[in-house]
Amino acid sequence: MSALTPQFEFVDRAGESIRYLEHGWPTDLCRWHSHPEYELHLILETQGKVFVGDYIGEFVPGTLFLIGPNLPHNWITDEFGAYESVVTRDMLIQFSHDSIISLQRAFPEFCEIDEFLQNSTGGLEFLKFDPFLATEHFIGIRESRGADRILKFLNFLLLVKSHQDQKRLSVANISSFNFRGKKSNLAFVIDHITQNFSDDINLDSAAEMCNMSTTAFARNFQKMTGSRFTEFVIRVRIGQACLMLQSTEQNIALICHEVGFRNLANFNRQFLRIKNTTPSAYREITRFKLST
């Protein structure tokens, strides 16, 4: 077994076909992890960075995701927001592939969701999905029991399946991942990067954390996250810069250094490459969107 695996999460679904869960922020449940179940995930409060496989993006209240089996993921709330703790940040539903297969054997009409679930192996974000409608469905599933809960869940699953604006996230080769280790050195490295993005994070020190040679670590990191180590660090820093541009009045030069770049010209170049716009233009655009 490779040392580079996300933290494995065992989902106890004994006695029930789906698992409903909600939690606040901060919480130990928020970590780089994976599990064999699909996960419908709704953000109720805060904004921050979402990590799904090799994808790094942003989330805001009302963002809805479907995460495929064995796909590592995490949501990290922006520390620059006006909140210290949140009672309920996330609502989520986990369900197994085996349950879907059993359903299709009994009712072949449900085979129509196969392509939809296949697309979710790298994660899906449902853009512009009505957050009030999503919350209503999650509450309905939370408050129901037995067969009624299953019917409400299937109704919601078909609803998100038919949503027209779906964004595919990770392009990593998820099938090559090994998720059975309970301890994950990769999870430790990922968490270290996301929590210490402004530090001097280099390939040698990351490899040392995993007790691996630099060459072996670099090869395995790219194989299992779909991204080169240096590129991953850059994207984490740019993601943090985006949140600071939205949430603070700090000038761009200061943000550049606080997220870990030592050179403003390099920061601007990397920001333009990843976001297809300049930091100042990004701040103006996002501020306008938030005000409308």
pLDDT at 1: 31
| Element (DSSP H or E) covering residue 74 | strand 73-77
Mean pLDDT score of the chain, rounded to an integer? Answer: 83
**pLDDT tens per residue, range 57-94:** 889 999 999 999 988 888 988 776 556 788 999 999 99
SS3 23: strand
CB 42 within 8 Å of CB 63? yes
Asked whether the predicted pLDDT for residue 227 surpasses 90, the reply is no
Tokens of 151: 């019917």
Whether residue 221 is predicted with pLDDT greater than 60 in this model: the reply is yes
CA dihedral 254, 258, 263, 267 (to 10 degrees): -90
Reported confidence tier of residue 4, pLDDT bands at 50, 70, 90: very low
In this predicted structure, the answer to whether residue 183 has a pLDDT above a threshold of 60 is no
Q: What is the mean pLDDT of residues 204-229?
A: 84
Domain 182-291: CATH superfamily, name plus number:
Homeodomain-like (1.10.10.60)
* Most confident range, picked from 100-104, 195-199, 283-287: 100-104
Q: Are 125 and 170 in contact (CB under 8 A)?
A: no
pTM: 0.65
What pLDDT sits at residue 247? 73
Integer Rg of the chain from CA:
20
Pairwise CA distance, residues 173 & 54, whole Å:
9
Dihedral angle of Cα 268, 273, 276, 280, to the nearest 10 degrees: -10
CATH number of 7-168: 2.60.120.10
Average pLDDT over residues 251-263: 94
How far CA 244 is from CA of 80, 239, 248, in Å, comes to 7, 9, 5
3-state SS, 180-197, equals CCCCCHHHHHHHHHHHCC
Residue 259 has pLDDT above 70, yes or no: yes
Res. 156 pLDDT band, cuts 50 70 90:
very high
Give me the residue spans of the domains in the chain.
7-168, 182-291
